[in-house]
Structure 1
Amino acid sequence: MPPKPKKKCCSDKPACKRCPLQMMKKGTLPPGYTVKKRKLVKVKKSDKKSKVAA
C-alpha cells in the first residue's frame, strides 16, 4: 500500500516521501486529489458536459 500524502507541504529539504508536491510530480498521488498552493485538495467531479461549438 503506497503512503498516504500529507495534507500540507512542509517544504523540508530533502523532501519527504509523503510530500503532496513530490507525489504529484512522481505520479503517485491518489486519484481524485491534486495540489493547490502547497495543500492537498480533493478534485470536484463536474457533471457538466463540455460544450462543442457547432
Structure 2
Amino acid sequence: MTGLSAVLIFVGLFLLGGAISFWRQGLPRGVVVLLGIGSALALLAGVLRLEVWQ
C-alpha cells in the first residue's frame, strides 16, 4: 500500500463519517449527498491505487 492510497482511503472514510454525522443532525440533503459523493470517489481512488490490482 502506497502512501497516497492510504491517504485517499483515510479521507474517504473521514468524509463518510461527516456525511453520516450531518445526516443525523438533519442538515440539508444536498450537503450530505455532496459529502457522500466525495467520500465514494476518494475511497474508490484509494482502492484502485492499491498494488494488488497490478
Q: Sort the TM-score into its range (normalised by shorter chain).
A: under 0.3
Q: Output the TM-score relative to the length of structure 1.
A: 0.23
Please identify which structure carries the higher helix content. 2
Bigger share in strand: 1
Greater RCO (Cα-Cα under 8 Å, separation 6 or more) = 2
